[in-house]
Structure 1
């Protein structure tokens, strides 16, 4: 599988459209929700207030992406001509999963800056402002497609912070990272991963830590624990989870889980 499809196979996203039409007034999101949000400003003027109290005036068609719960507010005055389409976003495994955590707190893009998404956006707006059967289901799927296209944009932007997305965007690291993502149960060694990167073992280890922010072995453990958390949410037995994510016993998984999260798998699941 490719670097992005592997991630989405593990941590897919489900969208739920909750607003489309003219917007006037205030819409507040307190950050206590368990989901992220994607707002599309099709036209008009909207004021966006972020959690750090910054205010951004949106005067052009714009995409506003919050992959995780994040406090923000949208304001529009009467006569502003604001037209919005909005959806909630739920990633498999919860908002704290490895993919959602790897994304920026927010991404604000003018629609004319993302021409690769133009056809999807045109289709979504056409559905949003037309009364046709199946409208909501189509819009939800189009929002999910937009998220995939946004992930592509992030990978190709060359402006990632250290972490998973920076590693996947790196020409030498994308293959070894995808190998770990695709087969977390394998006891990957630095030597094996460095071969996949076509680098010496020492150079690979140093480059991986600089770009991703963790040593390869630590990253593999983090990935395994994130998968374990997703499977725990789904109600899978701990013994089966341990085998799937590469631990020889439930107790071995529990020790690694506690080192990463501070609690046991059973305590984390509640």
Structure 2
């Protein structure tokens, strides 16, 4: 049977600020990208999310980002590579300790927001992230965009790289994501995301914002947990993939 991972950004609430329905999302995904406190999340949220993921057999990944709570990690920060390396290690170590305390572990890393997009093309920042992951005591995979600077950086350091695609984001013809500030960049449950997920998983293609169909290589599909209809999307996607004979299974 064909399999695909379904991942989601979770644990992004901070203090009195609540984001997403993590409990409901964890019932539908196989991997959880848990915020590590730099763009969202706090110690109590990290602990609760790791416990909830453990109880549901969901694999935990570190959702690392720029140090940008005010901007939710969606603003580019021109941080020096050495500082970025240290920031990534700090976030990894924090989440790994929390996960270990509840009998689980961090299995992979997924950069968030502006950092994710920056290391698609920025060779220096991609190298800093890959170096941090390579130096971490556990052998972790990196989840990211295909044919990117971070994929190349991971290959040079023998860090496992897993290609992902976004069911709720529009694509450009070159295989990159449409910037969030552009109309139509973010998709919802009414935009055919379930059918889109099946097309990605079964045929390895995606329809771009201009209506073209381009190749897409992905072992994991992401649905964002902060979308207003995130749970509805996750439920619909899981049902559509299952109906198409595609099993949801973690890559890590």
Q: TM-score, normalised by structure 2?
A: 0.29
Q: Which has the larger radius of gyration?
A: 1
Higher RCO (C-alpha 8 Å, min separation 6): 2
**Structure having the larger proportion of residues in helix:** 1
